[in-house]
Amino acid sequence: MLNTKLQGLIAAPFTPFDQDGELNLELIPKYYQFLKQNGIKGAFICGSTGEGVSLTRDEKMEVAEAWAAAGKNDIGFKVMTLLGGTCLADCKALARHAAEIGLYGVSFTAPSYFKPSNVSVLAEMCAEIAAEVPEMPFYYYHIPVLTGVNVNMIDLLKAVDGKIPNFAGVKYTHEDFMDFLSCMSFKNNKYDMLWGRDENMLSALVLGSRGAVGSTFNYLSPLYIQLIEAFEQNDLKTAAALQQQSIDFIRLLGKYGGIATGKAYMKLIGLDCGEFRLPVKNMDAVAFKHFKAEVENLDFQTFKSKDFLATDSHR
């Protein structure tokens, strides 16, 4: 299990909240089925998209338990949770909890307040947490745009190699293709490198990536599945056109306020995950009306993920 290379699309789910901003765990079983039916191979929960930094430790445990229960005995659907990064003790406790409830793996990202001074310190933190769950795959989550910790991942792999037996790989959410390829090539492709920039997936595929974690996979999985198929058939013209389509949808995230726009997309496919917690700003009703019109102009109906459960219930 520790040497498994994940393949296909792994969604970064939104944490569902009710109208009062509290956890809406009842939605997660349907969310799991929705992802499965749209060709998604796993879930990376409580990450950036999942607002892990805005959840309490208890809430993270509740979310993890709900996903573990939803995907129980489904070995084809891998669920891993982001432990956090700021408090080492909390990360260790959450890792042990993830093992107890049967999640596939855990992930850790660099602290964003007291930052590690160098790659050796970061590797030491990884080692302490990974040692709590020696039988689980442990991934580092590289997202320097949010953590402010921009060390080369090839240096981290060199620092942990042979020292952390369950270090499985890196969720790579950055644009440094030179570093990414070096990581892919290290020790004959020893580590699992999961691509994390949806808008650059085609470039990562060219370098050899076969697994990706993304937020837009929640509502645009057919688009990315078609993109991968076109690439595998060496139809680069079609693959590039589909990547551009992905970019067009992603540009609307920035135009309408950023990460919270993802939950607006989810409302359009019939899976209402509520709103983002502060300090993230959500769009108002007027903005949502304009957003919806722009989305439809991009032929969203062709590329969107389908809610097959809703379709079946209306037959």
What 3-state class would DSSP assign to 80? strand
14: left (phi over 0), alpha (psi -120 to 50) or beta: beta
Asked if the peptide bond before residue 279 counts as cis, ω within 30 degrees of 0, the response is yes
| d(C-alpha 279, C-alpha 288), whole Å | 19
Structure tokens at 26: 């009842």
State which amino acid sits at residue 141: Y
Q: Which residues is 194 bridged to in the sheet?
A: 171
| d(C-alpha 249, C-alpha 265), whole Å | 10
Q: Where are the alpha helices (DSSP H) in 216-299?
A: 217-232, 236-255, 261-268, 285-297
Q: Any idea which residues carry the catalytic annotation? A: 141, 171
CB 224 within 8 A of CB 217: yes
| d(C-alpha 144, C-alpha 156), whole Å | 14
Name the one residue in this structure whose structure tokens are 């644009």.
Answer: 175
CB 16 within 8 A of CB 274: yes
What 3-state class would DSSP assign to 85? coil
CB 207 within 8 A of CB 181: yes
